[in-house]
Amino acid sequence: MTFDWWTFGLQTVNVLILIWILGRFFWRPVAGMIEQRRRQAQDLLEQARRDKEAAARALAEAEERSDGFAAEREAILARARQEAVEAKRVLMEQAQAEAARARSAAAADLARRRQDSEQEWAAQAGRLAVTIAGRLAARLDGAAVRAAFLHWLIEKLGAQSEQTRQSLVTGGAVELISATPLDNSEQSRIGAALASALGAAPELAFLVDPALIAGLELRTPHFALSNSWRADLAEILAELSHDRRN
């Protein structure tokens, strides 16, 4: 058995060279690549963790904002409901006031219409009554009625002042109006009665006006003495109207 020191030395150098070369060109680059990949994977994981945390924070913020929206929505709805209730109350009050005003206006209008209607009906009734009375009184036109009206005429002249009576005598023609034509005897009797009442005979002009219904009236340009059914009925109608107004 021999031991070749040259071989030993050369093999030592061989292995040392191999260790250096592999260390320089194999182990270090490959391990560096593995380390680089590991570091990159860690960076990616760290970035993913940060992204996840950011996403979680964003989600929390979104949920918080959503809760805020819900609360704000509730507040807006509550405010809207309150405003609606208030508006409803105001509208109801306005409607009630408007209705009350309309009701009172309608009542007043109704009362006024009723009053007008009543007045109208009363007027019509008065006119109807006067018409009926006139027709009834027309059937009563006769000597007795004319005598009565002549009597009332003399009374009314007696109630006049002396100056008025004198003016009738001296004032010119006096129109004596009757409802029906008077015959001569009757005209004479009436002229005598007037002369007796006035102290002198006036200048009479006999006229006919059927509208008087019945009666005898005197009329001058400055004086008129009503004494007929028409005047009486007009006076009655005026009194009735006055009573209704009161």
Size of the site for other proteins (CB under 8 A): 33
Find the part of the chain contacting other proteins (CB under 8 A) among 1-9, 106-114, 124-132, 141-149. Answer: 1-9
Q: Is 15 in the site for other proteins (CB under 8 A)?
A: yes
Residue 26 sits in the site that holds other proteins (CB under 8 A)? yes
Contacts of 202 (CB under 8 A, 6+ apart): 168, 169, 174, 194, 195
Please identify, among the stretches 17-25, 44-52, 55-63, 222-230, the one whose residues bind other proteins according to the rule CB under 8 A: 17-25
Cβ proximity to other proteins: between 15 and 205 the closer is 15
Residues 30-69 that bind other proteins (CB under 8 A): 30-31, 33-34, 36-37, 40
> Is residue 17 a contact point for other proteins (CB under 8 A)?
yes
Q: By CB under 8 A, what part of segment 151-190 binds other proteins?
A: none
Residue 29 contacts other proteins per CB under 8 A: yes
Query: Which among 4-12, 52-60, 62-70, 228-236 is the span making contact with other proteins, rule CB under 8 A?
Result: 4-12
User: Which of 14, 104, 115, 124 touches other proteins by CB under 8 A?
Assistant: 14
- The CB-of-51 to other proteins minimum distance in angstroms stands at 21
With respect to other proteins, which residue has the nearer C-beta, 19 or 58? 19
Rounded CA gap, 76 and 19, in Å?
80
Please state the closest distance from residue 53 (CB atom) to other proteins, in A.
Answer: 26
User: Where does this chain bind other proteins (CB under 8 A)?
Assistant: 1-12, 14-19, 21-23, 25-31, 33-34, 36-37, 40
